[in-house]
Chain A
Amino acid sequence: QQQVKQSPQSLIVQKGGISIINCAYENTAFDYFPWYQQFPGKGPALLIAIRPDVSEKKEGRFTISFNKSAKQFSLHIMDSQPGDSATYFCAASMGSGAGSYQLTFGKGTKLSVIP
């Protein structure tokens, strides 16, 4: 049973546009939601993360929006650039206590930013 559902599977955005990737989770015990960025042939790298005590977190052009009641969170990339072309993974974990070491990942979104 997939616990984190990510959409879309692929996304094409024009340079300067806004890229939006959505994730939904089922386990209400999740309280840590990171996004990872992966370039081809490389390992993923943490991009930005949020805890459910806030509804939005912004770092530069990257923003996470979080809706606890809907059990959804999304990544917005403003002013998308060709260098943002990568695969993005959302993930979730319980921040502390039993199971806090396990990240559950979505299946990924391949973003292509075209000039």
Chain B
Amino acid sequence: DGGITQSPKYLFRKEGQNVTLSCEQNLNHDAMYWYRQDPGQGLRLIYYSQIVNDFQKGDIAEGYSVSREKKESFPLTVTSAQKNPTAFYLCASSMRDYSYNEQFFGPGTRLTVL
């Protein structure tokens, strides 16, 4: 089955630690995205990548980093510089050449800072 997988489903971090969230897709999509979701805040874009080895900051990139070494994978690192990292993190992908941007979402990772 084609889709987007995120792991782990739940993640606990101690203050001062970096953690990496995994996102893999087998939809052959060129573009991938990371969003953060907080209660009552909707989805806010952290980073996005339109092509391998290239990515751009979204609205709330501070304290996060990404890499895009493979088309299928777009891992997100939450660094110790992110002051309030507890949130639900969603990865998405879309076809780059699709003129109207249908994004497909993964099941999410819930990160909690202890």
**Residue among A34, A46, A101 facing the most chain B CB atoms (10 A cut-off):** A101
Tell whether B45 is near chain A: CB-to-CB under 8 Å. yes
Are B107 and A34 touching (Cβ within 8 A)?
no
B48, A43: Cβ atoms closer than 8 Å = no
Given contacts A41-B108, A43-B90, whether A103 and B103 have CB atoms under 8 Å apart is yes
- Count of A residues near B, CB < 8 Å? 25
CB-contact partner of B40 in A41, A51, A101, A108, under 8 A: A108
A44 to B96, CA, bound (A): 20
Q: Which residue of A lies closest to B38 (CB)?
A: A107
B107 touches A95 (CB 8 A): no
**Contact-residue bracket for chain B:** 20 to 34
Contacting pair A107 B105 (CB below 8 A) = no
| Residues B68-114 near A (CB distance < 8 A) | 90, 92, 94, 96, 99-108, 110
With both chains docked as a complex, state the minimum distance between the C-beta of B16 and any C-beta of chain A, in angstroms: 28
By the criterion CB–CB under 8 Å, are A95 and B58 in contact?
no
Q: Which 10 A-B pairs have the closest CB atoms?
A: A43-B105, A107-B42, A105-B42, A95-B100, A105-B43, A32-B100, A96-B99, A93-B101, A44-B105, A43-B107
Spell out A's residues near B (CB within 8 Å).
Answer: 6, 9, 32, 34, 36, 41-46, 49, 51, 89, 93, 95-96, 100-103, 105-108
